[in-house]
């Protein structure tokens, strides 16, 4: 479980740094990716449980995105299969459970209160000031010439090394400074596409959608 949490945190960090452009020194503008459309896949082994396969599809430079996750968890002699999609488009985020045929819809702007937005903005500024990015040149991975960077904190602790192609993180190596242990996570496939099939961003008709809002914080 601890390793699973570490992987999730690493993915979050990867998503953050995938938007760092070499010429800007910070987060990119309105385009999340540097190619119009494509997909990339990670297969993450969970020791004793089974693999988690995550494929991200995107179009319009990331304005439309679908993250499809397939999981097979082996527990007590049984195999539990999970299949979900998280779709972002037109200002909404949809979380779909394709096994139970249920899902939620949330307006992205409503997901955060003004205080939360201000807090995240302040945190982003603080992170920018406390994070250092060192260019390590280029290196091929999956047949792509990747920008290789080392990310470190202001206190000198390394957060990891990342291989970025067109703002897509294809590989990362992270290390826990407190234990000295680390792990490598790498994409197994990446494709540049002329477009992504529209059904990847469509809400299946057999999914029961509930519209939700982030609870207001007093």
Q: Supply 172's token pair.
A: 């990362």
Q: Supply 29's token pair.
A: 């503008």
The reported pLDDT for the residue numbered 20 is 52
The reported pLDDT for the residue numbered 131 is 77
Cα 159 to the center of its chain, rounded Å:
16
Cα 186 to the center of its chain, rounded Å:
13
The reported pLDDT for the residue numbered 102 is 96
10-residue averages of pLDDT along the chain (218 residues) = 43 48 49 94 76 92 94 78 92 94 87 52 59 90 94 71 93 78 88 95 95 66
Taking the C-alpha atoms of residue 112 and residue 102, their distance in angstroms, rounded to an integer, is 23
Taking the C-alpha atoms of residue 145 and residue 138, their distance in angstroms, rounded to an integer, is 6
Q: Which domains does the chain have, with CATH numbers?
A: 2-211 (2.50.20.10)
Task: Output DSSP code: residue 214.
Answer: P
| CA Rg value for the chain | 18
The reported pLDDT for the residue numbered 158 is 60
Ranges of H-type helices in the chain: 2-17, 114-130
The reported pLDDT for the residue numbered 21 is 53
Predicted TM-score (pTM) of the model is: 0.77
For 22-46, what is each residue's pLDDT tens digit? 554 444 456 889 999 999 999 887 7
Under 8 Å between Cβ of 169 and 161: no
The reported pLDDT for the residue numbered 177 is 66
For 108-118, what is each residue's pLDDT tens digit? 875 555 555 45
Phi then psi dihedrals of residue 178, to 5 deg: -75, -30
SS3 175: strand
Residues 6+ apart with CB under 8 A from 185: 7, 10, 11, 42, 44, 171, 172, 174
């Amino acid at each position: 479980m601890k390793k699973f949490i570490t992987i999730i945190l690493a993915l979050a960090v990867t998503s953050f740094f995938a938007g760092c452009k070499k010429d800007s020194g910070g987060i990119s503008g309105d385009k999340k990716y540097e190619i119009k459309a494509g997909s990339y896949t990670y297969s993450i082994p969970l020791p004793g449980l089974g693999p988690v396969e995550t494929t991200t599809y995107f179009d319009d430079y990331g304005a439309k995105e679908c993250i499809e996750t397939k999981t097979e968890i082996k527990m007590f002699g049984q195999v539990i299969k999970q299949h979900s999609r998280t779709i972002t488009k037109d200002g909404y985020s949809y979380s779909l459970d394709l096994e139970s045929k249920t899902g939620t819809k949330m307006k992205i702007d409503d997901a955060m209160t003004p205080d939360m937005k201000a807090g995240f903005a302040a945190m982003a500024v603080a992170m920018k000031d406390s994070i250092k990015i060192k260019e390590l040149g280029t290196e091929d991975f999956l047949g792509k010439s990747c920008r290789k960077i080392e990310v470190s904190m202001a206190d000198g602790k390394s957060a990891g090394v990342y291989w970025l192609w067109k703002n897509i993180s294809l590989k990362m190596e992270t290390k826990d400074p407190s234990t000295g242990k680390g792990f490598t996570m790498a994409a197994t496939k990446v494709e540049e596409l002329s477009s992504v099939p529209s059904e990847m961003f469509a809400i299946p008709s057999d999914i029961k959608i509930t519209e939700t809002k982030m609870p207001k914080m007093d």
